[in-house]
């Protein structure tokens, strides 16, 4: 009797968006390979570090590991394109049956991968990690809680609280991501909307290996506003309705005052206070909603520009087609064009 052909093992791609993670690259590699060796030995793997133009020795560490282990690969952006664009692009680089994403600062434990894989094999297309706790102070925790309450109130598709992208994504879902023609997509909103059959794994977030987060107040504000403007039109519509209501009330008061003035000319002496209060009130309402409108315009402007999400400067460990580094500063335009055609790729 003829034996059935052997079943090919599945491959899991691990993508690691990184920025200034020199201290954690080796630790990340050690912990990931230990997970595959001890718990996932039936699976093949590739480990792809996606570096967003680090200013430390992150790239040198990735090159060193790639020379020692062919499973380790590197994709180095030609410049810093920011968290959202790098993370979304990183998810599309894996070639495996599923792509596991975690971040280079080791706040999200690689040791949860077997649990993610178990749920994936049971039929889930997207398995994500949700922070149960973190080392953030009470102020940031309170701000995030308030933010998600607002999102739940306003959003057309509610976002997933305490989720940054850490999770396992089936190849079918990754193919959906590749179809999204958006220079700066908001991953939380995309996963919430298109993550059919989504499952959540609770975990405790560790402290960043670099000691402090790359996210300052302005970056957190940008993250929050992109989430709001990407998830709902209700805020803009509320601004329109309130502005219309205030306008009708003000028009009614103006007509009333005008008629009273005609009936009794001396009943309304000139009063600077009343004019000032009215002007400041209306000015405050207008400025607030102009600000909201500005946020939407900024979001729209970023989305309609047809340009690459990121530009890859170098690929490491991808075989004989691996491009060489970008030309040094000072190379003439002809030389840069010739080299660029061979080694610079757009996502």
Report the pLDDT value the prediction gives residue 333, as an integer from 0 to 100: 38
Residues in the chain: 347
Q: Which residue has the tokens 């993250």?
A: 223
Report the pLDDT value the prediction gives residue 132, as an integer from 0 to 100: 85
Tokens encoding 206:
């560790």
* Cα(255)–Cα(217) distance, integer angstroms: 46
Q: Which residue has the tokens 């599309």?
A: 92
CA distances from 89 to 57, 72, 77, 183 (A): 22, 18, 10, 10
The sign of the dihedral angle between the CA atoms of 286, 290, 292, 293 is: positive
Q: Which residue has the tokens 């087609």?
A: 321
Longest CA–CA span in the chain (Å) reads 112
How does strand 44-51 pair with strand 11-18?
Answer: parallel
Query: pLDDT averaged over consecutive 10-residue blocks of the chain (347 residues)?
Result: 57 96 95 97 97 95 96 96 91 96 93 97 96 70 70 69 92 92 82 89 80 59 65 65 69 69 66 59 70 68 68 86 40 39 38
Q: Which neighbouring-strand residues pair with 47?
A: 14, 72
Tokens encoding 104:
């280079």
Helices (H) and strands (E) in the chain, counts: 11, 9
Report the pLDDT value the prediction gives residue 14, as an integer from 0 to 100: 98
115-121-124-127 Cα dihedral, nearest 10 degrees: 30
Report the pLDDT value the prediction gives residue 298, as an integer from 0 to 100: 61
* Cα(234)–Cα(222) distance, integer angstroms: 19
Q: Which neighbouring-strand residues pair with 17?
A: 50
Report the pLDDT value the prediction gives residue 190, as an integer from 0 to 100: 87
Q: What's the pLDDT tens digit per position in 116-127?
A: 999 999 999 999
* Cα(196)–Cα(193) distance, integer angstroms: 8
SS3 (DSSP) at 246: helix
SS (H, E, C) 108-158: CCHHHHHHHHHHHHCCCCEEEEEEEECCCCHHHHHHHHHHHHHHHHHCCCC
Report the pLDDT value the prediction gives residue 306, as an integer from 0 to 100: 64
* Cα(322)–Cα(315) distance, integer angstroms: 5
305-166-113-62 Cα dihedral, nearest 10 degrees: 60
Report the pLDDT value the prediction gives residue 217, as an integer from 0 to 100: 58
Report the pLDDT value the prediction gives residue 270, as an integer from 0 to 100: 60
* Cα(191)–Cα(130) distance, integer angstroms: 13
* Cα(312)–Cα(324) distance, integer angstroms: 11
* Cα(82)–Cα(95) distance, integer angstroms: 23
Report the pLDDT value the prediction gives residue 46, as an integer from 0 to 100: 97
Q: What's the pLDDT tens digit per position in 43-84?
A: 999 999 999 999 999 999 999 999 999 999 999 999 999 888
> Which residues 6+ apart lie within 8 Å of 84 measured at CB?
184, 185, 186, 187, 223, 226
SS3 (DSSP) at 169: strand
């Amino acid at each position: 009797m003829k034996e059935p052909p052997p079943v090919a093992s599945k491959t899991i791609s691990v993508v690691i968006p990184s920025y200034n993670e020199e201290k954690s690259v080796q630790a990340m590699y050690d912990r990931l390979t230990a997970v595959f060796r001890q718990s996932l030995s039936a699976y093949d793997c590739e480990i792809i570090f996606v570096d967003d133009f680090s200013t430390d020795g992150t790239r040198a560490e990735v090159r060193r590991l790639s020379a020692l282990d062919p499973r380790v690969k590197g994709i180095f952006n030609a410049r810093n394109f920011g968290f959202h664009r790098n993370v979304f692009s990183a998810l599309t680089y894996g070639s495996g049956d599923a792509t596991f994403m975690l971040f280079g600062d080791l706040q999200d434990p690689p040791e949860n991968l077997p649990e993610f894989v178990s749920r994936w094999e049971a039929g889930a297309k997207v398995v994500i990690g949700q922070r149960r706790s973190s080392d953030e102070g009470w102020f940031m925790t309170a701000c995030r809680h308030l933010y998600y309450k607002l999102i739940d109130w306003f959003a057309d598709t509610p976002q997933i609280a305490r989720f940054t992208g850490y999770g396992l994504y089936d190849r079918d879902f990754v193919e959906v991501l590749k179809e999204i023609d958006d220079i700066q997509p908001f991953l939380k909103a995309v996963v919430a909307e298109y993550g059919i059959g989504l499952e959540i794994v609770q975990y405790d977030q560790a402290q960043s290996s670099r000691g402090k987060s790359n996210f300052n107040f302005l970056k957190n504000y940008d993250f929050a506003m992109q989430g709001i403007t990407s998830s709902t039109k209700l805020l803009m519509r509320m601004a329109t309705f309130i502005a219309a209501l205030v306008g009708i009330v003000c028009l009614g008061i103006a007509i009333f005052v005008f008629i009273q003035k005609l009936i009794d000319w001396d009943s309304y002496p000139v009063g600077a206070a009343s004019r000032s209060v009215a002007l400041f009130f209306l000015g405050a309402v207008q400025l607030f909603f102009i600000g909201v409108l500005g946020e939407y315009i900024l979001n729209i402007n970023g989305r309609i520009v047809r340009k690459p999400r990121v530009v890859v400067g170098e690929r490491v460990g991808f075989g004989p087609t691996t491009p060489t580094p970008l030309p040094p500063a000072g190379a003439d335009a002809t030389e840069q064009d010739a080299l660029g055609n061979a080694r610079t790729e757009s996502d």
